């Protein structure tokens, strides 16, 4: 589980870092992705993240934080289809209209989040 979470975390870091350097390219990619069946891919990704966080929690530096994040990821997975694809696309259009610096700052949060996950499970996947 920890290795899978490490891979997932690395993907979060890489995508977020790409957004720091190319925010307009990332926002247009996400918009195109979400226009298709990307909403369901996002739901599945959040469900996978929730499961990885929940089952990796006992082995991490921050088990309670992992459990809280797992619950938040589950809530986000449930909320996405309720919100609906059209509203998500409108939200993405709104984000795309932000200044590049604001998008970069949000992407830096993603880098930090992925980095936190990697740090928190580091003794697990380094030993595996």
DSSP-derived secondary structure for 74-118: HHHHHHHHHH-HHHHHHHHHHHHTS-HHHHHHHHHHHHHHHHHHH
Report the half-sphere exposure of 83 (CA within 13 A, side-chain side): 18
* Dihedral class, residue 17 (left if φ above 0, else alpha if ψ from -120 to 50, else beta): alpha
Q: Where are the domains of the chain?
A: 2-127
Tens digit of each residue's pLDDT, the chain (128 residues): 888 999 999 999 999 999 999 999 999 999 888 887 899 999 999 999 999 999 999 989 999 999 999 999 999 999 999 999 899 999 999 999 999 999 999 999 999 999 999 999 987 554 44
The region that residue 22 occupies, defined by phi over 0 for left and psi between -120 and 50 for alpha, beta otherwise, is: beta
How far apart are alpha carbons 93 and 10 in whole angstroms? 26
Write down the pTM of the prediction.
Answer: 0.87
CA 102 vs CA 5, 19, 53: distances in Å: 28, 11, 28
């Amino acid at each position: 589980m920890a290795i899978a979470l490490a891979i997932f975390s690395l993907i979060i870091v890489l995508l977020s870092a790409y957004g720091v350097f190319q925010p307009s390219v990332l926002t247009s990619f996400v918009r195109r992705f979400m226009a298709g069946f990307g909403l369901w891919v996002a739901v599945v990704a959040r469900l996978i993240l929730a499961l990885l966080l929940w089952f990796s929690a006992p082995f991490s530096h921050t088990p309670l934080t992992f459990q809280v994040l797992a619950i938040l990821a589950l809530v986000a997975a449930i909320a996405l289809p309720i919100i609906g694809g059209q509203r998500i696309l409108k939200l993405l259009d709104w984000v795309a209209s932000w200044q590049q610096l604001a998008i970069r700052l949000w992407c830096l949060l993603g880098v930090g989040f992925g980095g936190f996950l990697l740090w928190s499970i580091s003794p697990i996947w380094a030993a595996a």
